[in-house]
Amino acid sequence: MSYAPESIAYHQGEYKPLKDCNVNIMTHALQYGTMVFGGMRGYYDADSDNVYLFRPEDHVRRLSRSAHIMQMQSPLNEPKMVEVALEITRRNDYRCNVYYRPFIYKNALQLSPRLHDVSDDFAMYSLILDDYLDTSRGMRTMVSSWRRIDENIIPTRAKVSGGYANSALAKSEAVQNGFDEAIFLDARGFVSEGSAENIFMVRDGVLITPPVTASVLEGITRRSIIELARLEGIPVLERDIARTELYIADELFFCGTGAQVAWIEEVDRRVVAGGQIGAITARLRDRFRQAVIGRDPETRHWVRPVFESRVTA
């Protein structure tokens, strides 16, 4: 994942090179973190020579809901936001895996920490991205000393940029202590999520994940994993998870737009499941990989091919 200054982005109602997408240093979102954003993937399939957007309608719907929570209004409706992602892909002529960052932000030049009577704008850029986390091996994790922000402090149901200071503190703490990723507890002391991923646990054949009331983001990949598990006949339970359950779990994994499906081999220097990827994790990961390029018949409606002329029946 790297900065490509000539790649085409969408900013201030225009498609332009990323290097020309600039904001004033007084911009409200820069001063106060008043931005909501999404992360969306496009997966390249060499056999069909096409890029498939993964659940784009769901992603922009969540972005719109985040904006509504934060008293923001995008100048583009949801179908037009999806069209921007499609057009960015075409203009950059991508034949690779792509990450898209759509966002709505307070663009006024005002020094006042408020949401009302402050103008908004929409923008989107993209980056070439394969794996955000190294999914070829298990993740070494630690339970963070930082607690996950509470829903009534900064709404975790909305992807608010200012709230990611919480994630940055936990991520840096983990990496600087020799781990790959952090695991948050919520304000009550129950497991919440990773710094930028949802978390799943397997115990006795049951797939378990914290409920949305545990200060977790309502992840699109999270929902997809739950739906795939049910299609596979795997029991799914959304409930609180105690910290020590992580130590004795049969399997653990992260999931998210960036992380995709990344298995966890260690928590707080305790090896999980013998340090090997679990059978259920591998099953869900493999099916997810087929789903994102439209090769899973039961979930083909999740993807949107970018280049319609290359679509075959």
Cβ atoms within 10 Å of 205's Cβ, excluding its own: 10
**Does 95 share its domain with 155?**
no
Is residue 276 assigned to a domain? yes
* Model pLDDT, residue 136: 78
Domain end position, chosen among 101, 128, 155 = 128
- The secondary element (H helix, E strand) that includes residue 84 is helix 78-92
**The model's pTM:** 0.94
Residue 185 lies in a domain: yes
The domain that holds 288 is classified in CATH as 3.20.10.10
Does the residue 212 lie in any domain? yes
Whether residue 133 has pLDDT greater than 80: no
For the beta carbon of residue 176, count every other beta carbon within 10 angstroms: 8
Show the tokens assigned to 246.
């992580």
Write phi, then psi, for 192 (nearest 5 degrees): -110, -75
- pLDDT class for 312, splitting at 50, 70, 90? low
Place of tokens 């408020």: 114
Residue-range definition of the domain harbouring residue 110: 8-128
- Same-domain check for residues 176 and 206: yes
Residues 194 and 293 in one domain: yes
CATH number at 35 reads 3.30.470.10
CA distance 52 to 44: 6
> Residue 131: what pLDDT?
74
At 296 the pLDDT is 97
Same domain, 123 and 144: no
Active site residues: 159
State the average pLDDT for the chain.
96
Distance, in Å, from the CA atom of 203 to the CA atom of 272, rounded to the nearest integer, reads 12
β-partners of residue 162 are none
Q: Is the pLDDT of residue 138 over 60?
A: yes
313 found inside a domain: no
Q: How many domains does the chain have?
A: 2
Do 187 and 101 have their domain in common? no
pLDDT at 1 over 70: no
pLDDT digits (tens, 9 = 90+) for 226-249: 999 999 999 999 999 999 999 999
Q: In this predicted structure, what is the pLDDT of residue 130?
A: 81
